[in-house]
Amino acid sequence: MPINENNLVKKKKRALEIIAELKKLFPKARIALNYSNNWEFLAAVILSAQCTDKKVNEVTEKLFKKYKFLDDYAAANIKEFEQDIKSTGFYHNKAKNILASAKIVKEKFNGKIPRTMEEILILPGVARKTANVVLGNAYGVVEGIAVDTHVRRLSRLLGLTKEFNPGKIEKDLMIIIPRKEWFNFTYLLIDYGRKYCPARKHDHSDCPLNKFYI
């Protein structure tokens, strides 16, 4: 089906207007996870799936003191590690993925987190959202737009996409948002969702961007 050029121009204009408003609200939007190196960052992002950043930061404050180096993760006992991260939810899978990723990073990538989308997607527990977050924050490598639950919900509400699937949402957003805005867009929407427009039912009349809502 051919793209309607007129609709595309309108959507691009809409996206730019929304981004401009978001930047006024959140001039310093950034990821809320705490970490001190790229490996810790990857582990924290994996832990953040279906979990709040606040809870992840509580867990990693102890975790990163207990497991100081990549080798500590590669040699960790999985049952013990599960208990260390249990409160983040889905801890069986998260523990398995983090410890398996530690071994792969150590053996295949000489202890360094991969710098390309193709390579980082090899790691267990890393899909495009996690890959976009890690590559962008760790290396300034921007291959796409990280679509988390806030981005998914608010992109639809703001009329930037009609899709439900995160992969399709990302493709829609990449067409209408300038590449230089891809990285920041995720954190602008996350901050907006947290402060003004959460998923729970609320009065949208108090939302600063409600004029864009559909």
Torsion of CA 15, 19, 22, 23, to 10 degrees: -170
Tell which residue, 187, 135, 82, 173, has the closest CA to residue 126. 135
Instruction: Assess contact for 117 and 92: CB atoms under 8 A.
Output: no
- Which are the catalytic amino acids? 129, 148
Q: How far apart are CA 146 and CA 136, in angstroms?
A: 9
Question: Both tokens of residue 100?
Answer: 């398996």
Q: How far apart are CA 185 and CA 30, in angstroms?
A: 10
Q: How far apart are CA 139 and CA 44, in angstroms?
A: 16
